[in-house]
Structures are given as structure tokens and as C-alpha cells.
Amino acid sequence: MAGDGAPATPAAFYKMLSVPDAVELILSETALLPAEEVPFAAAFQHTLAADVRAAEPVPGFRASIKDGYAVLSTDGPGEYDIAFEAFAGVAPRTLTPGTVAYIGTGGPLPEGADAVVQIEDTEFLGAAPGGPKRVRIKKQAAPGEDVRQVGSDMAAGEVVLQAGQHIGAAEVGILATVGATTVNVHRKPHVAVLSTGDEVCEPDAPKLELGQIRDANRAMLLAAAVGTGARATDLGIARDTAANVEAALDRTIAEGADVLLTTGGVSMGDKDFIKPLLERRGTVYFGKVKMKPGKPLTFAKVAVPERNRSLLVFGLPGNPVSSLVTFHLAVVPCLRKMEGWQEPRLRRVHVRTAMPIKMDPERPEYHRAVAHWARPEGAAEGVSSGELVAASTGGQISSRLLSLRSANVLLEIPQASGVLPAGSRVSALVLGDLGSMPVPEVPAPTVLP
Amino acid sequence: MAGDGAPATPAAFYKMLSVPDAVELILSETALLPAEEVPFAAAFQHTLAADVRAAEPVPGFRASIKDGYAVLSTDGPGEYDIAFEAFAGVAPRTLTPGTVAYIGTGGPLPEGADAVVQIEDTEFLGAAPGGPKRVRIKKQAAPGEDVRQVGSDMAAGEVVLQAGQHIGAAEVGILATVGATTVNVHRKPHVAVLSTGDEVCEPDAPKLELGQIRDANRAMLLAAAVGTGARATDLGIARDTAANVEAALDRTIAEGADVLLTTGGVSMGDKDFIKPLLERRGTVYFGKVKMKPGKPLTFAKVAVPERNRSLLVFGLPGNPVSSLVTFHLAVVPCLRKMEGWQEPRLRRVHVRTAMPIKMDPERPEYHRAVAHWARPEGAAEGVSSGELVAASTGGQISSRLLSLRSANVLLEIPQASGVLPAGSRVSALVLGDLGSMPVPEVPAPTVLP
């Protein structure tokens, strides 16, 4: 307003993109972060930047699969002297035909032996005074029986993990097994988060004045960024002046962040200091997205020539719901691409709606909902398909943060008039971990035709 | 063996439980960890131990939903003086009937106004020389239109988050919005991890001797524990003596861990120093579970009277695959219950198998597989149900850690003879984050009848 009483409408000059077009544009401007070498255990939850090969075969020796006796299979069933015990760490010995050796699971098969007879197929006979211990072998072993051959789990030189593989706990184990104790992974993004607005207070403000609100966005977006695995820096609250916002941008660059998230100041009001700044310092790709909630979403890139890289800037709406929904839709795919995800887009599933949903004739809506696994209506016990049923979180006004409480999907409600009836099947974008969704009504264990 | 050549078979004295019975027994012996008060941002990814109420209404004032003009609705359409601008932080003023005030989204509605007319339904007229700025209001506003009433998002005293709620990013935002800057959450478990065995080497050992293996289990289980949100302590490798294993138990207790995971030493071999120790120091609930892989699984509790609590001990098998599978099946539900999950069991879904799977007539198998969302075979484009299809990870021998590579489900293959044909529908336990599964072939956005 600043003096003329006429609201400026800079956002009106920016192109309005659809959400899918906006996401594709963001991804096309997002570069994979460079690889760095880290100790293998620190690679957990990162994405591999290079293939990992087994330098040695696993197992590196013929290993018993069972507790039992190492035998020469051609000796066959009968009573045998127990010549020795074959354990790791014990100097290797050779088995003489006509004798057997006790061996534990994982123990090294002695030279001369070619099979293991498990303990359940034997009978320990004890020792005659002064004589060796003896055992009755009750079963004819096939050559190689209950023996893991050298390299049977992993061959020397085999690619055991490919570039692009996400490193979970099992993959940490695979790295350890092959002795790959340093690995190349993509760096995780560093995200800086700034709130803007004269009306925004710290969450612990003792008392709010008229028109003031507690800052929900910053803590929420810091948590959301950390939740994706990113490193996050809190830039605080910038009061509404161009100098304050530019100072925050400069600090972001100085700290080496890859992504800046701002909230507020990107609506139609005249206090949008973000877009003019970004126009001056870089390129604004779009300033509006056709969606509900969250229309005023800005995406820009600021070159950081002294570091030979770019800073991506997302100007998210000030409404808490809009800011978190646009974070999921626009920022999460960007962060995933940076850290090496091969498919960085949000996962899409079909869900059955649990209640009628009013559609918006002007914009497609990303309707917050709680999906859970359930038996389809009318299906008999034991024939569940594990269908996802989604219940709306209630009133979807973009200020109502409770509409995001427990939400794990965004229903993609098309731009249309009328009401989508309960029981409709709609596509939905997955926000959280479907693995922790409320228990499905799937009987266990089940096999269905 | 220790000198007599006859393998001791202590495990034979322990009851063999089914997996579901074992899990229920574990959960019944698992206590919720105590609550602690933490700053709200640190509550991220924890479970609330007490309800959180809004101490004040949100919004705390009548707030505009749009950029536009605050009006008295009975004034109706027409040309009006713009009396002032209503922004947060500006001293509140009262609107005189027959005038309007410019207001931004989120701004406080002035006393005397009862509605907002959005900017799109107005025309700025400028000011005559020396006169006030004027605007044409083109629309009849209904009372309350585009105004968020006090408490309409959250009422003062309303329970905004319930005990048991998992705190994600949105919930962090809800806490900030209501100024709940300290909250009560359940402590996360502290897990200590020990490998045992004379044959076990550090992963970075330059060269393996005959019978030696690199320790995959420890780094893998530490990562898996951290992946659940637990704090994890590395106890190293204990050589196979009773004293070493007891020293590790004592260290676990001294460090205040809630759970001890050991691997190795729980098979039928005579080097099981774990169970005799646990018998002496606590209670062993079971020593075998009827499953493939991972039969030798021990669960015990050791009282720690000086801290007025108990240590839960899981003796996991030494085979890497068995250790991680039993971690998921037995330990994850325990850790989830400790930190307050209301449903701590693994989630179960139905999947369609992509290949034939040989069943085991002696034990139910937890077959590692990679599930992805796919269109059911034969379904036309656009009528996907988002079914999960699961591909086996290949050879399931319990030493073959590659069978866990990328695995995100455990197929529950029943104990039976024969082969389960490809295309069977079987229940599966979810290991990872289904939200990051490979992209489903769901067209977007879609609404299906």
C-alpha cells in the first residue's frame, strides 16, 4: 500500500502454472548434488553415487550351513571317528577318508570333506576308554550338501549395489560384508528457512497483539526438511522490508545452502519483497500455481558464481497449510532429486473416499486426508485386497492447520462443479510413510487365489 | 564342544513359538518408556504423552481471508472512501459506516466492519485532488464473508493434539500455532548392539583368515535401530567366552540401554554363552521361533533393580539375513511400543506375487521381496487399483544378504509343500516406506466410479 492506497498486484504479471507443469519445471532446474566419500555406516539413508563391487567372494571359504559333521560323501552312512572340530580360527586341518569332523554353522569345511550331515541325522556314540569319540552318520549326504560354496552368496567382482541405490540397513550390511568401508554417496541438501511478515511472532511470545500470529511455518518447514533427510538452517523471521529479506538471502548464500524456503510475502498484497528481489538477483520461473490451497507459489534460481553453483528459492505462501502442502508438492521432489533419488516425484496411489467432497470449479484441490488400509465394502472376511480408504481431515480452509493433522495423503480433487460422492476412487499423493498407516484388516498370513 | 566332542544342545530345551505368539509375548513384556518434557521442535517424530490444548483461540482476532476491503455488509455496493489500511501491528481503528478499509490476507478486521470484499470485486478509483482515495465496491457482501471468526480454526481450550499422536511436521506447526512450546513426549528407546563370535572380524579387516567373516550384523542393526528413531550404542564384538558376553551385558546396563541386541551364539552349537547368562541374570521367555529364516531367536528380560527398570534382550541369529528379518519381526514392534505407538505391529498388506515361490513344509517363510505399485494384469488404462506386486529378491538362503537388497516387504509364505504359483495373492509385512516405492502406474489425477 505504502502511500497510495492502491494494492500493487505484481503476482498478476507472473504466469500461472499447473502443479504437474510446475513440478516438471522445478525438476528440470534441479541439479543432482555432488558425490562425497563417506565411511560406510554414514552412508545410511543416502543414495549411492557409484556401483559397489565385492572385492572378494562371500563366503570366502566353503562354509557349513548346519551344525553337524563334515564328511566325505562317498563314505556314506556308518560309524566314524570324530577326527577333529572345524571352527573358524582353528588352524585348518585335512579330513582323512573314513573319519568325520564336527562342524558348526558357518564353520570352514576341512579339505577332504565335501558335504555336511546335520546333527539331527547323526547319533553321538561317545568314546571307548582311550579311544576317539565316535558318531553314527545315519544319512547318505549328496556331494555339496549343506555346504555354501566359495562366492555362492556374492562372487568376487560382482556389483552388489548399484549407483542410485538407496542405502537402508540391509545395504549397510552388504557394504560391511564385502569390506566396502568407504563409499561414494550424494550429499544431502542444505535447506534454509525464513519467515517473513510484520505480523509474525515467535511461537513462545507471551501475548499476541491484535493482528499478530505465532510463527508456525518456520518450525514446521524445518521439521519437514529434516524429515526428508536434509540439513536445515533456521533464518528466523524477517520483518517486512526489502533490506531484511535481502539480508536473509545473502546469509543463505554465505552459509552455502542449496535451497531457500521463504513463507509469506508472496500473495497479491503490496508487501511482496521476495519476487522483486529474486528478479533482481536471479530468475523467477513462476509466481503462481493453479491449486488449492497455495496458489501464490514462487520458484526462482539465484546464481552463486563464487561457488560455481545455484541457490534454488521457493517462495511459499504464508498460510501454514498452503506452505506445507506446497512444500510436499514442489519442494520434496526437488530435494529428492538433489540427493539422488531416481524417481523424485511423490508416489501416487488410488484411494476410496470415505465421505462426499465438494469440488472447486476454479482450481484443482489437494485435499488433506488420512488414508488407512481397509477391506473393501462388502468383501467377505479373508478376501481383503488391502484397499486404501481415505477420510478427509475436515474443513480445508488454508489457515486451518488441523486439516493437516495426521494427514498422510493429498487427494487430487479435480477442478469441477458439484460434489464427489463418498466411495469414489481418486488418485492421491502419498505424504508420509504408508508403512505406519493404521492396521489394515488383512488376516494373517493369507494366500488368496 | 569344549573337550568332549559332543555338541551340547541347550536350545533344544527352549520352547519353539510361532512368530505371532512370539510377538505378542514380546509386546506383553514391553513397557512404554516414560514421558519427558521437551521443546516443541524437539518433539518432532516423537509420540505425545499427553493431550495438547489450545490456550488461546486461533485466529485470536477476526481475520481477512482475502486481499480486499473491510466493509459493513449493510452498506452494499457503491463508491466509498478508503478510510484507512488495516494491517497487523497498526493501532486498531474503528470503521465508520459508509467507509471501507483496505485489508490484506490475514489482516485484522476493524471494529465496525463485518465482511471483506475481495480485490477482484472492486475497482480502485484514485483520489480527487485533496480528497480521500476512493474505491467502487461491486458486490454485495454477506455478513461474515471472507472473514475468519475468532477461534474458527482452533477454539480456546480445544484439544488440538491427543496423547498418542505422532508428531510430524504438521503437528510441529500446530504446536507452534497454539504456543505450546514445551510438550510431553515418550522417550525414544536406547538400543545397544553386540556381535559375538571368534570368527567375526571388523568390516575393515585387511585380509580374512580361513573361516573368518566380516561383521555385517552390527553396523546393519545399528542402522536399523537408528532408522526406527532409537538411540544406538555400538558394543563391538565379544569373543566367545562367557566373561566377554557378561561384560557386554554389564556395560549395556551401565549405559542405561533399554534393549540389548546380540547376534551369534544362539544356535544349537555349544558356543551359546548368551542363554546361560540370561538364565542366570534374568528370565528367558523363549529360545526358538518357528520361522524361516531365523529359527534361533531368544528373548529375555534382565531386571535392573538399581534403576527400577528392566533391560530387554534379543538374542538374534548370527546369519545376517536372519538377524535383520528377526529384527523387523520381533524388535521393531517392541521399540515402537516403547516409544508410544498405539499400534506397534508391522503393517500388513496384500500383494500379488510376480513369480512362483517354493514353500517349506517345515516352517513358514518370511520371503524377502520388492513390492511396487502396479496396474493389475489385464486392467485397462485408467482403471488401475494401485495393486501391490511383489518380486522375490531371489535365493533366500539365510546367509545371502543380497536377498534383503531393496526388500520392502516380507511375504508371509505358509508352511506347506509345493510351489505357490506366480500371481498368488499373499499377505506381506511392510518393512520400509511404501511412500517411496517405485512409481505406480496410476494416471493423475483420476477419479474413478
Are the beta carbons of A210 and B88 separated by less than 8 Å?
yes
Choose the weakest-confidence range: A112-116, A340-344, B344-348, B409-413: B344-348
- Mean pLDDT check: name the lowest of A245-249, B356-360, B437-441: B437-441
CB contact under 8 A, A169 and B221: yes
How many whole angstroms separate alpha carbon B15 and alpha carbon B361? 20
Residue A394: what pLDDT? 87
Single out the residue in B308, B338, B368 at which a domain terminates: B338
Contact across the interface for B203 and A175, Cβ inside 8 Å: yes
Mean predicted lDDT score pLDDT of chain B: 88
Name the pLDDT band for B118 (thresholds 50, 70, 90): very high
Mean pLDDT on B138-148? 97
% of chain B with per-residue pLDDT over 70? 88
The alpha carbon of residue B250 is apart from the nearest alpha carbon of chain A, in Å, by: 26
Is the CB of residue A390 less than 8 Å from the CB of residue A411?
yes
Judgement on whether residues B365 and B309 belong to the same structural domain of the protein: no
Could you give the CA distance from residue A337 to residue B192 in angstroms, rounded to a whole number? Answer: 34
Mean pLDDT of A226-246: 93
Query: Domain tally for chain A?
Result: 4
Are B384 and B274 in a shared domain? no
pLDDT band of residue A273 (cuts 50, 70, 90) is confident
Element (DSSP H or E) covering residue B333: helix B332-338
Q: How confident is the model at residue B45 (pLDDT cuts 50, 70, 90)?
A: very high
- Give residue A442's pLDDT: 47
Q: Which of A320, A338, A356 is the last residue of a domain?
A: A338
Whether B210 maps to a domain, the answer reads yes
* Interface with A, mutate which of B350, B387, B389, B409 (most A CBs under 10 A): B350
CATH number of the domain residue A171 falls in: 3.90.105.10
Average pLDDT, integer, range B408-419: 92
Cβ contact B198:B87 at 8 Å: no
Task: Determine contact, residues B137/B80, Cβ cutoff 8 Å.
Answer: yes
pLDDT at site A13: 62
Is A448 within a domain? Answer: no
Cα–Cα dist B335/B324, whole Å: 14
The string of pLDDT tens digits covering residues B84-109 is 998 766 677 899 999 999 998 889 99
B26 pLDDT band, cuts 50/70/90, is very high
> Does the ipTM surpass 0.85?
yes
What confidence tens digit (pLDDT) does each residue in B273-284 have?
888 899 999 999
- Please give the residue of chain B at the shortest CA–CA distance from A182: B204
A297 and A394 co-located in one domain: no
So what's the pLDDT on residue A415? 92
**Residue B407 backbone class (left: φ over 0; alpha: ψ -120 to 50; beta: rest):** beta
The reply to whether B442 falls in a domain is no
DSSP code of residue B187: P
Phi and psi torsions of A430, nearest 5°: -85, 125
Q: Among partner residues A133, A267, A435, which is closest to B432 by beta-carbon distance? A: A435
What DSSP line would sit under B255-293, residue for residue?
TT-SEEEEESS-SSSTT--HHHHHHHHSEEEESEEE-BS
Q: Chain B: residue nearest A266 by CA? A: B105
List the grid coordinates of A439: 492396521
Q: How far is A257 from chain B (nearest CA, A)?
A: 21
For every residue of B357-407, DSSP letters joined together read EE--SSS-EEEEEEEEEEPPTTPPTT----EEEEEE-S---TT-GGGGTT-
Q: Residue B229, Cα to own-chain centre: how many angstroms? A: 8
CB atoms within 10 A of CB B203: 21
User: CATH no. for residue A401?
Assistant: 2.40.340.10
Tens of pLDDT along A55-67?
A: 999 999 999 998 8
Measuring CA to CA, how many Å separate A96 from each of A99, A108, A115, A359, A399?
6, 16, 14, 82, 82
Q: What percent of chain A has pLDDT over 90?
A: 68
Q: In sequence order, what are the residues at sequence separation of 6 or more whose Cβ sits closer than 8 angstroms to the Cβ of residue A361?
A: A415, A416, A417
Q: Which of A95-99, A125-129, A270-274, B265-269 has the lowest mean pLDDT?
A: B265-269
The Cα of B30 is separated from the nearest Cα of chain A by a number of Å equal to: 19
B9 falls in which pLDDT band (50, 70, 90)?
A: very low
CA A393-A397-A400 angle, to 5 degrees, is 70
A154, part of any domain: no
* C-alpha cell recorded at residue B219: 553396523
Q: Which residues of chain B make contact with A176, given a CB cutoff of 8 A? A: 203, 214-216, 218-220
Q: Which three cell numbers stand for residue B197?
A: 563370535
How are the residues of chain B apportioned to helix, strand and coil, as percentages rounded to the nearest 5? 20, 35, 45
* Assigned domain for B192 exists: yes
- C-alpha cell of residue B11: 536350545
How large is the average pLDDT for residues B332-354? 89
Does residue A298 share a domain with residue A236?
yes
Q: CA of B129, closest CA in chain A: separation in Å?
A: 13
Q: Are strands B309-316 and A309-316 parallel, antiparallel or unpaired?
A: unpaired
Q: Which residue reads 516352517 in cell numbers?
A: B363
pLDDT at res. A434? 57
* pLDDT score of A2: 36
Residues A206 and A329 in one domain: yes
Residue of A nearest to B325 (CA): A170
Mutation site for B-interface testing, chosen from A52, A200, A447 by largest number of B Cβ within 10 Å: A447
Is B343 a domain residue? no
Residue A98 and residue A25 share a domain: no
CA-nearest of B27, B31, B28 to B329 is B27
Instruction: Judge whether residue B382 has pLDDT over 90.
Output: no
In whole angstroms, give the CA distance from residue B374 to residue B150: 47
Cα(B65)–Cα(A231) distance, rounded to whole angstroms? 34
* Cell numbers placing B149: 471468526
- CB contact (8 A) between residue A373 and residue B349: yes
Q: How far is B305 from chain A (nearest CA, A)?
A: 33
Phi first, then psi: give them for residue B224, nearest 5 degrees.
-60, -40
Facing residue for A168 by CB, picked from B5, B44, B432: B432
Same domain, B230 and B309: yes
Residue in B173, B412, B413 nearest the CB of A320 = B173
More confident residue, B302 or A272: B302
Please answer whether residues A294 and A398 qualify as being in contact, where contact means their C-beta atoms are separated by less than 8 angstroms: yes
Written as one letter, the residue type at B50 is A
| pLDDT for A277 beyond 60 | yes
Closest in B373, B406, B434 to A435, CB measured: B434
Distance CA B217, CA B194 (A): 9
Q: Which of A308, A338, A368 is the last residue of a domain?
A: A338
pLDDT at position A449: 45
Do A244 and A191 fall within a single domain? yes
Name every chain A residue with its beta carbon within 8 A of the beta carbon of B341: 436
* DSSP symbol at B329: I
DSSP B222: H
Please give, one letter per residue, the 3-state secondary structure of chain A.
CCCCCCCCCHHHHCCEEEHHHHHHHHHHCCCCCCEEEEEHHHHCCCEECCCEECCCCECCCCEECCCEEEECHHHCCEEEEEEEEECCCCCCCECCCCEEEEECCCCECCECCCEEEEHHHEEEEEECCCCCEEEEECCCCCCCCCEECCCCCECCCCEEECCCCECCHHHHHHHHHCCCCEEEEECCCEEEEEEECCCEECCCCCCCCCCCEECCHHHHHHHHHHHCCCEEEEEEEECCCHHHHHHHHHHHHHCCCCEEEEECCCCCCCCCCHHHHHHHHCEEEECEEECECCCCCEEEEEEEHHHCEEEEEEEECCCHHHHHHHHHHHHHHHHHHHCCCCCCCCCEEEEEECCCEECCCCCCEEEEEEEEEECCCCCCCCCCCCEEEEEECCCCCCCCHHHHCCCCEEEEECCCCCEECCCCEEEEEECCCHHHCCCCCCCCCCEEC
At A285-336, the pLDDT tens digits run 999 999 999 788 999 999 998 888 899 999 999 899 999 999 999 999 999 9
Given pLDDT bands bounded at 50, 70 and 90, which one contains residue A375?
Answer: low
Residues of chain A with Cβ-Cβ distance to B396 below 8 Å are none
Note whether B215 and B321 are same-domain residues: yes
**Residue range(s) defining the domain that contains residue B361:** 348-436
Amino acid letter, residue A50: A
Q: What angle do CA B137, B142, B144 make, to 5 degrees?
A: 110
The C-alpha atoms of residue A88 and residue B199 are separated, in whole angstroms, by 5
**B169 and B273 together in one domain:** no
CB contact under 8 A, A433 and B431: no
User: How many Å apart are CA B391 and CA B375, to the nearest integer?
Assistant: 15
- Sorting pLDDT into bands at 50, 70 and 90, what band is B11? very low
Residue B15 maps to a domain = yes
Name the residue with cell 565379544: B238
Residue A448 has pLDDT above 90, yes or no: no
Pick the residue from chain B with its C-alpha nearest to A158. Answer: B402
pLDDT band at A8 (very low <50, low <70, confident <90, very high): very low
What three-state secondary structure class fits B186?
A: strand
Of A173-187, A344-358, B187-201, B259-273, least confident by mean pLDDT is B259-273
Do both B327 and B231 map to the same domain? Answer: yes
Nearest CA to A197 out of A267, A249, A259 is that of A267
Contacts of A6 in chain B (CB under 8 A): 124, 126, 133
CA–CA gap between residue B82 and residue A6 (Å, rounded): 10
Say if residues B123 and B78 touch (Cβ distance below 8 Å).
no
- Tell me how crowded residue B325 is: count the other CB atoms within 10 A of its CB: 30
Please provide the average confidence, as pLDDT, over all residues in chain A: 88
CATH classification at residue A91: 2.170.190.11
Candidates B230, B298, B236, B310; CA nearest to B268 is B298
Instruction: Note whether B353 and B312 are same-domain residues.
Output: no
Look at residue B444 and tell me if it is in a domain: no
Percent of chain A's residues with pLDDT above 70:
88
